[in-house]
Amino acid sequence: MPFDQYVTTFLNLSGIESMQPEPSIAEENRELRQRVSILHHKAERNEQLLKAFFAAELELLSCTTLAELLDYLLNHFRQNFNLSAVTLMLLDPEDMVQELLDGSARFNDFPGLQLIRHPQPLRSLYPDKQLFCGEASAEIRRSCFPLPADVQSCALLPLIREDFLIGSLCLGSSDPERYSHLLRYDYVSHLASVVAVCIENAISRESLQRLSSMDPLTRALNRRAFSQQLLREIKRCNRTGDPMACVLLDIDHFKPVNDTHGHLSGDKILRDVSQLLKDTLRETDSIARYGGEEFAILLPGCGEAEAIQVADNLRETISQTLFSGHQQQSLRITASLGITLCEQQHTQQADVSALTESLIQAADQALYFSKHNGRNQVKFNPCTLAIRAQQ
């Protein structure tokens, strides 16, 4: 029996008074014993359901990321409480949730999630901001349970924060009796409040983390986050033995771009180059804005030959792309790149901070060679720290 029918059980308690008129003492005793046994059984079941409910609440509160929370609500919750469908509609006017999920999970993992930009669908669903329990009409099935599922009755829970509708959690059951407008569903209402708080907290927490590690113009990692990532990748290289390439990319003659087309166009180019890097590189690679028109890239698992190939592909793609300024004027740019390599031997023979410095210096030196060799090219420069450490 699902936790939300706990309420029904208490309503049934009133049945104890509807006994047959004038039964014999023996019959009355038998009937009473039967009723006590049923009530005892129901009380035990209610206790289990209550425990399941508290466990669900704890699960929700202990989710540390938005993706974890959504996974629990949309996947585990449905199984744990024997529902035929669970969907979640979230108001996301500035695509913040979309962006957070892009970095941490795939939308395919959450087929029941719908992000909406305008509050109107929520206002239509909850004109009085009240929970709805009852039969799943064709209209409810269409708007709240768009994916194929056997939904006969449903609980539609408004998610409200500070008197503002932020979303809707819809629980669907194949049992037509499970949710009825005749019953009160205090636990389900309570659940809606917990879910609303958990979702809001997860979004705020992750947005803050993201803001503190992101360059606001290009949405690449900022320099601080890059340094942390570099340390993580050095540790991974030490652990796994896989090499890691470190690349610096600098847009050529960027000053004339600003001078000719204005700073707004320069900003747009920086954003577009950042997006091009994200689109071209692997998800496991790291991209950071290292300075004004300079990007730093980490390619875990790449040896010298592969890193040169990846960097040259970036160089060529940039040189062949028709960029546009902020007034849609066409622009062409090129970039110079410098590469160095972190190998396991470096991580064993040097302290980490000396190694990070040495890697950046070596990549910077390679970038300098590219610039002074005519720009629009890729140069490799080995990291020499380990050799020095051995001497």
Ligand X SMILES: Nc1nc2c(ncn2[C@@H]2O[C@H](COP(=O)(O)OP(=O)(O)OP(=O)(O)O)[C@@H](O)[C@H]2O)c(=O)[nH]1
Interaction site with ligand X (CB under 6 A)? 217, 250-255, 258, 263, 266-267, 270, 292-293, 371, 375
Q: C-beta of 347: minimal distance to ligand X in Å?
A: 31
Dist. CA 121–CA 124, nearest whole Å: 5
Q: C-beta of 151: minimal distance to ligand X in Å?
A: 51
Q: C-beta of 262: minimal distance to ligand X in Å?
A: 8
253 vs 282 by CB, closer to ligand X: 253
E strand residue ranges, the chain: 85-91, 113-116, 132-135, 153-161, 164-173, 244-251, 286-289, 294-300, 323-324, 330-331, 335-342, 378-380
Q: Are 157 and 129 in contact (CB under 8 A)?
A: no
155 vs 288 by CB, closer to ligand X: 288
Q: C-beta of 290: minimal distance to ligand X in Å?
A: 11
Q: C-beta of 186: minimal distance to ligand X in Å?
A: 54
11 vs 217 by CB, closer to ligand X: 217
> Left (φ > 0), alpha (ψ -120 to 50) or beta: where does 377 sit?
beta
If one counts every other C-beta atom within 10 angstroms of the C-beta of residue 93, the result is 11
Q: Are 378 and 305 in contact (CB under 8 A)?
A: no
89 vs 311 by CB, closer to ligand X: 311
Dist. CA 146–CA 371, nearest whole Å: 56
251 vs 383 by CB, closer to ligand X: 251
The CA-to-CA distance between both ends of the chain, in Å, stands at 73
Q: C-beta of 362: minimal distance to ligand X in Å?
A: 19
Secondary structure element (H or E) that encloses residue 265, with its range: helix 263-280
251 vs 281 by CB, closer to ligand X: 251
Pairing of strands 335-342, 244-251: antiparallel
SS3 content of the chain, % helix, strand, coil (to 5): 55, 20, 25
Q: C-beta of 324: minimal distance to ligand X in Å?
A: 14
Q: C-beta of 378: minimal distance to ligand X in Å?
A: 15
205 vs 371 by CB, closer to ligand X: 371
270 vs 350 by CB, closer to ligand X: 270
219 vs 236 by CB, closer to ligand X: 219
* 266-270 long-range Cβ contacts below 8 angstroms, 24+ apart: 266/293, 267/217, 267/326, 268/323, 268/324, 268/325, 268/326, 269/323, 269/325, 269/331, 269/333, 270/217, 270/218
Q: C-beta of 357: minimal distance to ligand X in Å?
A: 22
Count Cα neighbours of 23 within 13 Å in the Cβ-side half-sphere. 11
195 vs 277 by CB, closer to ligand X: 277
- Give the gyration radius of the chain's Cα atoms: 30
If one counts every other C-beta atom within 10 angstroms of the C-beta of residue 343, the result is 17
CA-closest candidate to residue 179, choices 157, 205, 197, 153: 153
Q: Are 251 and 332 in contact (CB under 8 A)?
A: no
Q: C-beta of 201: minimal distance to ligand X in Å?
A: 33
